[in-house]
Amino acid sequence: MTPRSYPPLRTAPPAELVTEGRYNFGTYDGPIEHINPLDAAGSGLFSKPRRVARDLGLKEWEAFQLGDDDWFVLGAVYNAKALGLLQVLVVDKHKDTIRRFETKLPAPMLSVARGLSGTSSHGDFSGLSISLGNDLGDGSLTVDATRDARGDDPSLALHVTGDCSPESAAHLVIVHPFADNDALYSHKTMMPMHGSLVLGDERVGFADDQGFLILDDHHGDYPRPMKYDWITAARRVDGRVEGFNLTDNQIRNPEVFNENAIWIGDTLDRLPPVTFERPDGPWGPWRARDADGAVDVTFVPVVQSTMHVGPRKALAEYYAPYGWFSGVIHGENTTLSVDGMYGVGEQKRITV
C-alpha cells in the first residue's frame, strides 16, 4: 500500500486574522477572536481606497447545513457585494423534494458577522428573515428563520440551537493563501443540535437525539473567476455527530493548505487534497479521491438545485444537488464509512 501523506496538525489560533497588514496563514483548532480581513490593505496614505477595493472583492457568508434522519436544510446569509442573498432550502430525504425560501437583496441590507463571539449574521427582506447567533465562546450557535406563506408555498419557521462546546464538537479554522496576501478564511464546525422546523401547519422536524448542525463561516479574497468543487454530509449516531468536508479550490499548496477533514464527535482528522470527477455532468455521480487512497467517496444526486446568472451563465454557473454518499475516508487516526450519509455538493464558477 502506498504510504499516505496527511497535512500538518491544527495549531492554536492567533488572536487576529491579520497582523500588521499580513494574514496569519495556518490551520487552527479554535475560533480566531478578531476577524479583520480589511486590515490586509495595510496602512499609510492610500490605505482607505485599498480597504474599499478589498472589501468590494471580498466574498462573505455565514452558512449552515442541518437536519436529522428525515430532513436536510441548507441556509445562508450571503454577501457577494454585487448583491446579497438570503436562503433556506428544505429537502425531504425520503420524497426527494426541495422547498426554496430565498430572496436576493441589495448587499448593504444584510450583515455577515466578522467574528463568532457575541455576534450575528442576519437579514430581513421580502418577508424572509434569517438570523444566526454566534456565541462560540460559550459553545452555542443558534439559527432562526421565518417566512409567511405565499401562494402554494407554506410558511417557514426554523429555530435550532447547536452545541459546539469542547465536549461535543471540533473546529477547523483555516487561513489559507490564494496569493501572497490574499486568503480564504473559513471556520467549519459540526455539532449536535436540537430545535424545530415547521412548514405551514405541520411540525416536520427534528427528531430527538438525531439533530446535527454544520457551521460554515466564510470570508475570501477569491480570484476571478471564483471556482471550486465541494461536498459535505453529516449524521448523528448514538448522540455523536460524524461527517466530512471535501473541497477542491484555488488555494496554493493544497498538500499543506486544504479544508478537507472528517469529524467524529469532538475529534477531527485533516485529509489530503482531493480531485473531483463528474463524467456524466453535475446530475450524474460525483467521485472525490486523493492520490494515495485515503479518500474514495461517491456522491449520487437525487435532488437538483441551480442558480445561474447572466447570458449563457457568463456571470455565475452554480450547481448544488442533494443526495446520497457511499465510500470510505481514512484519516490519520480514524476511519469513517460514509455509506448511507446524505448531504450536498457544489460545482461553482462565479465571475460577478
Dist. CA 79–CA 146, nearest whole Å: 19
Classify residue 7 by its DSSP letter: P
Residues 6 or more apart whose Cβ sits within 8 Å of residue 154: 99, 199, 200, 201, 202
- Would you write out the chain's pLDDT as a tens digit for each of its 352 residues? 567 899 999 999 999 999 999 999 999 999 999 999 999 998 877 788 999 999 999 999 999 999 999 999 999 999 999 899 999 999 999 999 999 999 999 999 999 999 999 999 999 999 999 999 999 999 999 999 999 999 889 999 999 999 999 999 999 999 999 999 999 999 999 999 999 999 999 999 899 899 999 999 999 999 999 999 999 999 999 999 999 999 999 999 999 999 999 999 999 999 999 999 999 999 999 999 999 999 999 999 999 998 777 777 767 789 999 999 999 999 999 999 999 999 999 999 978 7
Residue 149 CB-half CA count within 13 A: 8
Dist. CA 106–CA 165, nearest whole Å: 35
pTM for the model stands at 0.96
What is the chain's length? 352
Residues 6 or more apart whose Cβ sits within 8 Å of residue 18: 24, 36, 37, 39, 40
Reading the block at residue 318, the C-alpha cell is 452554480
